[in-house]
């Protein structure tokens, strides 16, 4: 396999981890708000979200540098980085709330954070598929 194929595989694997972390956070927040669920699933959700997020950005940038037809300043790549920052910011706040003891102090704010994470992830996926401004 070529370097490109490995990078693409690892980028997609990271995207799956990211979505799995999002789903795990969704279970914590949209579940019954059980502290037991939060304590048991919280570290897994954080690990999946963080590993996926880090992998997506690292392998995505590496891919952009590796492929001759792409540049880091292409519009769709800049959009992906901005969406990554938005999703990561919301995920970081939610993860901190889960670590501090329970889903988060207010369920409404945690639902907003999960919604922002989900929307950013969906838009990121659509950006990767359709590559606008490419």
Digit-coded pLDDT (tens) for 42-57: 899 999 999 999 999 9
Does the pLDDT value for residue 40 go beyond 80? yes
Tell me: the pLDDT tens digits for 67-118?
Answer: 999 999 999 999 999 999 999 999 999 998 888 865 455 667 889 999 999 9
Q: Which residues, other chains included, contact 86 with Cβ-Cβ below 8 Å and sequence gap of 6+?
A: 116, 120
- Residue 2: phi, psi to the nearest 5? -80, 170
Residue identified by tokens 């690892």 is 10
């Amino acid at each position: 396999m070529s370097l490109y194929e490995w990078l693409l595989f690892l980028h997609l694997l990271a995207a799956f981890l990211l979505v799995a972390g999002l789903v795990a956070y969704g279970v914590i927040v949209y579940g019954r708000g059980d502290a037991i669920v939060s304590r048991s699933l919280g570290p897994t959700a954080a690990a999946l979200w963080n590993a996926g997020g880090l992998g997506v950005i690292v392998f995505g940038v590496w891919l952009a540098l590796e492929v001759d037809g792409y540049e880091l300043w292409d519009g769709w790549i800049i959009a992906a980085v901005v969406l990554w920052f938005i999703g990561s910011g919301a995920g970081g706040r939610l993860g901190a709330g889960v670590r501090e003891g329970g889903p988060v102090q207010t369920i409404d704010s945690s639902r907003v954070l999960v919604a922002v994470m989900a929307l950013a992830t969906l838009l990121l996926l659509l950006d990767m598929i359709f590559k606008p401004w490419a």
